[in-house]
């Protein structure tokens, strides 16, 4: 009986100590450069997103700013004012972490010409499902007019520039 109590005590200490590093959804902190957003994808805090920065996109914000696939399930109807590039990623994905600084750099380079967004595939499962994301990073290049194009896997910066110039800007 004493051994059983001893084991239960150790197990409970283990669970308590392992749980301390986890954050509840209410305590979750923002990633660096990310603004807090409500479930509808709109900004919560007064913090401004830096111009020329990659912005985080929720499913609700995607429907509002890019394409409402529920209203137009059969036809791509782009809602944006500028062409966009969307990086579908996950926090645990090493190639995604290699692509992230490239996207940040390109967001600055194309500031005012192209908007850059990130979609966390672990958090935005519905949106990932709509685009049938099976491999990440997946980059969606959306021109102002015409259909979007996908690129799957990490590429070199020059390849992203070439895709933006030809597929997004039509140069």
Which segments of the chain are extended strands (E)?
Answer: 55-56, 84-89, 115-120, 138-142, 149-152
Residue 18 appears among annotated catalytic residues: no
What are the CA-CA distances from residue 141 to residues 15, 89, 165, 169 (Å)? 44, 14, 10, 10
Closest C-alpha among 120, 171, 104 to residue 143? 171
Q: Which of 93, 99, 103, 133 is catalytic?
A: 93
Catalytic residue (one of 57, 96, 103, 136) = 96
Strands 115-120, 55-56: pairing is parallel
- Active site annotation includes 96: yes
Q: Is 141 helix (H, G, I), strand (E, B) or coil?
A: strand
Residues assigned a catalytic role: 93, 96
């Amino acid at each position: 009986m004493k051994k059983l109590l001893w084991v239960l005590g150790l197990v409970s200490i283990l669970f308590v100590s392992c749980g301390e590093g986890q954050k509840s959804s209410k305590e979750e902190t923002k990633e660096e450069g990310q603004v807090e957003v409500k479930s509808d994808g709109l900004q919560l805090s007064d913090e401004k997103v830096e111009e020329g920065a990659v912005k985080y996109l929720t499913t609700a914000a995607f429907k509002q700013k890019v394409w409402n696939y529920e209203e137009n399930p059969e036809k791509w109807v782009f809602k944006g004012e500028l062409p966009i590039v969307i990086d579908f990623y996950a926090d645990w994905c090493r190639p995604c972490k290699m692509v992230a600084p490239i996207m940040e750099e390109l967001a600055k380079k194309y500031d005012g010409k192209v908007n850059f967004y990130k979609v966390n595939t672990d958090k935005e499962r519905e949106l990932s499902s709509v685009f049938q994301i099976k491999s990440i990073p997946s980059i969606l290049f959306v021109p102002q007019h015409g259909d979007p194009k996908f690129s799957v896997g990490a590429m070199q910066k020059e390849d992203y520039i070439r895709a933006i110039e030809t597929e997004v800007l039509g140069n």
